[in-house]
């Protein structure tokens, strides 16, 4: 059956004269070319590597690694696979990055605010800090902390000893490790209960303040609850924690938790360096809030601290967050300088030793790049969500 339709619309331009069709056509060609180029690149690389007798594929991830790694957050020993070395490296990278982001943010905000302080000495000290730290290459700072500072700590046998529980020497900082015993569930319960109570109080206090104007000291009460409830539940449960104390065994300390100097040096250097940039970002954010806002807040009788917390910072955040995101990204990427001082991060372990033992450069480099890309995109994503939350709500 043939169905005939009669087009009553006025005749449009021919398809090849239609700008919409044309732009779609050329975009399709562009995409096809990109994909074709990518495919040719991959295909040629693979076939040429094969013809040169270089192993390809990801089978190596299941082979036994056979080398030691000094620090692992996931269980690891030399009998495990190359795939496991990837996770060891990745978790070490994430650990130092997360520690760095937290420390750099806190330090950066303090210094940024100090830079604007009306106290001459405080403001100038913040200025000197920023100008010195951000103008020295990060790698030099890492070397400084590692070789000039931490290496000069005493040897294990002359450790700095704090109460027989905490030791500091040039092999690291040794802390007692809490070993949870039976009945620790009660303490966990206490902690959760305390958190729930604080959240509840906060909601109630806000409601009451809106209704009656009375202010409840949420912060002080909250801290008291968070400290006291877990302690009480700890005592009630019969002290279900035993401490594994570090002790000198042979020529090194064993037991407890060790913070190796490589981690410390990298963390300190990354935090101080990034904090100097964050401080400038915070300063620019605060300065972007018009003076009228501060004056209006003062006119309402708000003290300085509250003015900063309730009026200035929330508005400054809108300016601060986008550049802050790129500082976080920089910090994560800069953490790969770890390889210079022997901290076992992803680049040192996976793109270093694993690449060299397996020789599969293309695969390992591709995986590593994909990981950094993923981490960066995730950070951007979360910061964008946060940015949307604090952005001006147009009603």
Partner 1 sequence: MRKTKSIALGIALAVGTFTATGAMAATTLENVKEKGHLQCGVTSGLPGFSQPDEKGNWTGIDVDTCRAVAAAIFGDANAVEFTPLTAKERFTALQSGEIDMLSRNTTWTLTRDASLGLNFAGVNYYDGQGFLINKGIGVDDATQLDGATICIQAGTTTELNLSDYFRAKGMEFKPIVFDTSEQTVQGFAAGRCDVLTSDRSQLAALRSKLSDPSSAKILPNTISKEPLGPVVRQGDDQWFNIVKWVLSVQINAEELGVTSANADDMLKSDNPNIQRLLGTDGDMGAKLGLPDDFGHKVVKLVGNYGEMYDRNVGPDTPLGLDRGINALWTEGGIMYAPPVR
Binding site for partner 1 (CB under 8 A): 40-41, 44-45, 48-49, 51-55, 66-70, 78-79, 139, 147, 151-152, 155, 170-171, 249-252, 254, 261-262, 336-337, 339-342, 344, 347-348, 351-353, 355-359, 361-362, 365-366, 369
Packing angle, helices 261-288 and 120-134, rounded to 10? 120
The distance of closest approach from Cβ of residue 277 to partner 1 in the complex, given in angstroms and rounded to an integer, is: 20
**Residue in 274, 284, 272, 193 with CA at minimum distance from that of residue 232:** 193
* DSSP character at residue 353: I
Nearer Cβ to partner 1 (41/241): 41
The position carrying tokens 């299941």 is 62
284 vs 320: CA distance, rounded Å: 8
Two structure tokens written together for 190: 């206490």
Nearer to partner 1, 113 or 341 (CB): 341
Which one, 35 or 382, has the nearer CB to partner 1?
35
The residues near 320 (Cβ < 8 Å, ≥ 6 apart) are 281, 282, 284, 285
Residues 6+ apart with CB under 8 A from 76: 69, 84, 85, 88
- For partner 1, give the closer residue by CB, 85 or 307: 85
What's the min distance (Å) between Cβ of 153 and partner 1? 9
Q: What is the C-alpha to C-alpha distance for residues 312 and 283, in angstroms, rounded to an integer?
A: 11
Residue whose CB is less far from partner 1, 176 or 261: 261
CA angle 301, 306, 307 (to 5 degrees): 70
Closer CB to partner 1, residue 120 or residue 251?
251
Cα-based distances in Å from 17 to 24, 27, 297: 12, 16, 61
Q: In the complex with partner 1, which residue's Cβ is closer, 153 or 390? A: 153
**Shortest gap between Cβ of 209 and partner 1 (angstroms)?**
53
Min CB(94)–partner 1 separation in Å:
17
CB of 326 to partner 1, least distance (A): 20
User: What's the farthest any 2 CA atoms get from each other in the chain?
Assistant: 98
Q: Which residues contact 23 (CB under 8 A, 6 or more apart)?
A: none
Q: Which is nearer to partner 1, 23 or 55 (CB)?
A: 55
187 CB burial (10 A radius; 0-12, 13-18, 19+):
buried
Our CB check for partner 1 shows the closer of 158 and 209 to be 158
Least distance from C-beta 47 to partner 1, angstroms?
Answer: 8
In angstroms, rounded to a whole number, what is the distance separating the alpha carbons of residues 271 and 103? 6
Report the nearest approach of partner 1 to the CB of residue 140 (Å): 13
Helix axes 313-334, 261-288, angle to 10 degrees: 150
- Nearer to partner 1 by C-beta: 278 or 341? 341
DSSP one-letter string for 282-340: HHHHHHHS-HHHHHHHHHTT--HHHIIIIIIHHHHHHHHHHHHHHHHHHHHHHGGGGGG
Minimum CB–partner distance for residue 203 and partner 1 (Å): 48
Q: How far is the CB of 71 from partner 1 (least distance, A)?
A: 9
Quick one: tokens of 278? Answer: 């964050």
Quote the least distance from Cβ 321 to partner 1, whole Å: 29
CA 200 – CA 352 distance, rounded (Å): 50
Nearest distance in Å: CB 134, partner 1: 19
Nearer to partner 1, 278 or 346 (CB): 346
């Amino acid at each position: 059956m043939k169905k005939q339709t009669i087009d009553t619309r006025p005749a449009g331009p021919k398809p090849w004269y239609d700008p919409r069709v044309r732009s779609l056509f050329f975009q399709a060609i562009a995409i096809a070319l990109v994909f074709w180029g990518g495919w040719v690149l991959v295909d040629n690389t693979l076939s040429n590597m094969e013809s040169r007798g270089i192993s390809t594929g990801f089978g190596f991830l299941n082979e036994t690694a056979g080398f030691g790694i000094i620090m692992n957050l996931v269980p690891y020993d030399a009998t495990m696979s190359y795939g496991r070395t990837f996770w060891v490296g990745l978790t070490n990278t994430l650990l130092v990055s997360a520690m760095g982001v937290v420390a750099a943010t806190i330090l950066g905000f303090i210094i940024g605010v100090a830079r604007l302080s009306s106290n001459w000495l405080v403001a100038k000290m913040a200025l000197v800090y920023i100008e010195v730290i951000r103008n020295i290459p990060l790698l030099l700072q890492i070397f400084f902390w590692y070789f000039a500072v931490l290496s000069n700590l005493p040897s294990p046998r002359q450790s700095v000893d704090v109460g027989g529980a905490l030791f500091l020497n040039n092999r690291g900082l040794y802390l007692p490790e809490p070993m949870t015993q039976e009945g620790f569930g009660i303490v966990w319960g206490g902690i959760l209960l305390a958190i729930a109570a604080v959240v509840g109080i906060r909601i109630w206090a806000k409601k009451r303040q809106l209704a009656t104007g009375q202010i409840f000291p949420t912060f002080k009460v909250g801290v008291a609850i968070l400290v006291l409830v877990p302690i009480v539940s700890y005592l009630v449960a019969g002290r279900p924690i035993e401490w594994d104390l570090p002790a000198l065994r042979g020529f090194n300390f064993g037991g407890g938790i060790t913070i190796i100097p490589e981690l410390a040096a990298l963390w300190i250097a990354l935090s101080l360096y990034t904090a100097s940039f964050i401080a400038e970002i915070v300063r620019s954010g605060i300065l972007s809030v018009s003076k009228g806002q501060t004056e209006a807040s003062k006119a309402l009788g708000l003290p300085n601290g509250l003015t900063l917390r309730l009026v200035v910072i929330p508005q400054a955040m809108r300016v601060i967050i986008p550049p802050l995101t790129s500082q976080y990204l920089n910090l994560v990427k800069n953490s790969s300088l770890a390889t210079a001082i022997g901290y076992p991060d992803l680049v040192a372990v996976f793109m270093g030793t694993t690449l060299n033992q397996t020789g599969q450069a293309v695969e390992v480099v591709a995986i590593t790049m994909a990981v950094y890309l993923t981490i960066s995109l995730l950070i951007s994503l979360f910061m964008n969500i946060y940015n949307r939350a604090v952005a001006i709500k147009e009603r």
